[in-house]
């Protein structure tokens, strides 16, 4: 049975474990604080690889940033990770097979191989949190594009220069309305300057009319985006993950999307995995290539 060491690299924590070809975590997940410099991160990788070297067939990394089509290098900015981290030459860390993949793509692959989208060949996973991340699987392959950056959820969803997107600079972009941050910005316009997503959710639970409207508008932006994705990609399933996914009215959203798309009906459901999805997906991607 093939086994790989898999890392999930975040701005505050790096997690790792050893995962087998059936997607089973055969070692407890270890979490450590992310070192504050790129050299420290590299040294951590080398130390952990050395500790596990005799038990593994390869090393996988789930990371922020776009990753090249060879799965060896990061090709973009990596947010709150230390300067220089995105220059890491992952394949130089060990003589075993190595694979690096973007964290949203990795999480999507976890849902596709072991989670909520098992058995479907065409799947879109949207991670709705601070932003909207995505992983798109078409005909059983991860959609990477020419530079590994495919699946950026930045496209116009409204008009009238209502809101400038912090991610892409364009106005009225899907991410700037449909993310958790988008919900918060919408809430602050009508519920007060300090309103949070929590205020919207708790307001909805108390049947507050303003909160219910803010939530309904946010969900409608999500629906609009998913109609576009349904028409363009014709997926069997759209899987929703991230901190906001638990609040979505799945039945209502699925019905609304299916009443507007030109393609055959699709399913919309919550993700199976939250934590460790990136680690699992990156491991499964590497195991598929061993």
In the complex, the residues that contact Zn ion under the rule CB under 5 A are 154, 165, 167-168, 173, 175
In order of 131, 155, 157, 263, the CA distances from 164 in angstroms are 14, 12, 12, 31
Half-sphere exposure of 284 (CA within 13 A, CB side): 25
Kindly write down the DSSP assignment for every residue of 84-127, as one continuous string.
TGGG--GGGS-SS-EEEEEHHHHHHHHHHHHSTTTT-SSEEEEE
Nearer to Zn ion, 121 or 166 (CB): 166
Strand residues in 216-262 grouped as ranges (E): 237-241
Task: List Cβ neighbours of 275 (8 Å cut-off, separation of 6 or more).
Answer: none
Nearer to Zn ion, 87 or 164 (CB): 164
The least CB distance from residue 175 to Zn ion, in Å, is: 5
The least CB distance from residue 133 to Zn ion, in Å, is: 13
Nearer to Zn ion, 168 or 201 (CB): 168
Nearer to Zn ion, 44 or 178 (CB): 178
Q: Measured between alpha carbons, how far is 236 from 271 in angstroms, rounded to an integer?
A: 14
The least CB distance from residue 163 to Zn ion, in Å, is: 10
The least CB distance from residue 198 to Zn ion, in Å, is: 24
φ/ψ bin of 19: left (φ > 0), alpha (ψ from -120 to 50), beta (otherwise): beta
Nearer to Zn ion, 119 or 169 (CB): 169
The least CB distance from residue 168 to Zn ion, in Å, is: 3
Q: State how far Cα 254 lies from the chain centre.
A: 20
The least CB distance from residue 104 to Zn ion, in Å, is: 15
């Amino acid at each position: 049975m093939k086994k790989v060491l898999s890392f999930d690299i975040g701005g505050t924590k790096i997690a790792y474990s050893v995962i087998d070809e059936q997607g089973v975590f055969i070692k407890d997940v270890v979490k450590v604080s992310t070192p504050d410099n790129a050299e420290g991160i590299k040294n951590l990788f080398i130390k952990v690889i050395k500790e596990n070297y005799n038990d593994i067939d390869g090393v996988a990394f789930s990371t922020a940033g776009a990753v090249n089509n060879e799965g060896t290098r990061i090709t973009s900015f990596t947010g709150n990770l230390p300067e220089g981290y995105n220059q890491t030459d992952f394949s130089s860390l060990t003589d075993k097979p190595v694979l690096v993949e973007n964290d949203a793509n990795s999480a999507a692959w976890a849902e596709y191989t072991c989670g909520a989208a098992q058995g479907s060949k065409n799947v879109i996973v949207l991670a709705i949190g601070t932003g909207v991340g995505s992983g798109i699987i078409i005909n059983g392959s991860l959609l990477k594009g020419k530079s590994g950056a495919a699946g950026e959820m930045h496209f116009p969803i409204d008009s009238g220069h209502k809101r400038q997107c912090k991610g892409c600079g364009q106005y009225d972009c899907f991410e700037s309305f449909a993310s958790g941050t988008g919900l918060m910005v919408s809430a602050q316009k009508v519920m007060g300057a300090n309103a949070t997503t929590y205020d919207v959710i708790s307001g909805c639970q108390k049947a507050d009319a303003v909160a219910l409207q803010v939530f309904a508008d946010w969900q409608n932006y999500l629906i609009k985006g998913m109609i576009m994705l349904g028409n363009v990609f014709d997926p069997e399933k759209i899987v929703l993950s991230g901190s906001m996914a638990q609040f979505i009215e799945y039945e209502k959203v699925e019905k609304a999307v299916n009443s507007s798309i030109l393609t055959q009906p699709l399913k919309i459901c919550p993700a199976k995995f939250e934590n460790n999805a990136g680690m699992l997906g990156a491991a499964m991607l590497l195991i598929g290539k061993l």
